[in-house]
Amino acid sequence: MFRTVLRLFTYGFCLLASFAWAEQTPSWRLVINDNLLPEYTLYLAFYPAEAGNWAAEPVLRLKQTLPDYKAFARPISLPAGRYAVRGFIDVDANGELTLNEQGRPAEPYTNSQAEGQRPSPLFERSIITLNDEQPQLQLQLRYPPGSRP
């Protein structure tokens, strides 16, 4: 009898702990499209909408070696909310987005796109919402001329 009660208590505690953890760190789905550079490193940064600009400190940074798929998905753990996301493929392996003489990306890049907005590097046009109704974020990689090795 004692063992049964102990097992039920342990099971219930683990179940409650898993619900509490899931409540704190929901997992959303990030989809990367148009990956033409497998084996290169993709850097992504997630900024809270309240930050107001790209100069703020990101709430999440991701670094991933790109797989050999044109499109792929991965989970991301962030609280529900509004975010702006940007990233780049580090073709020259320096850990930073390389810019050309005009200050534009010289390496493949991406940023989130607010609903109803055209692609734009502006922070306010990059704000998206992650919640139960919108559990997925799609990012389209863009390749400036000469950015592919």
pLDDT at residue 8, as a whole number: 41
**Residue 72: phi, psi to the nearest 5?**
-150, 160
Q: Is 33 within 8 Å of 141 (Cβ atoms)?
A: yes
Residue 149 exposure: Cα atoms within 13 Å on the Cβ side: 9
32-66 pLDDT, tens digit each? 999 999 999 999 999 999 999 999 999 999 999 99
Q: What is the mean pLDDT of the chain?
A: 87
pLDDT-based confidence at 27, cuts 50/70/90? confident
pLDDT at residue 136, as a whole number: 95
Choose which CATH entry (2.60.40, 1.10.20, 1.10.287, 2.30.30) describes domain 26-140. Answer: 2.60.40
55-107 pLDDT, tens digit each? 999 999 999 999 999 999 999 999 999 999 999 999 999 999 999 999 999 99
**Residue 6: phi, psi to the nearest 5?**
-65, -45
Q: Where are the domains of the chain?
A: 26-140
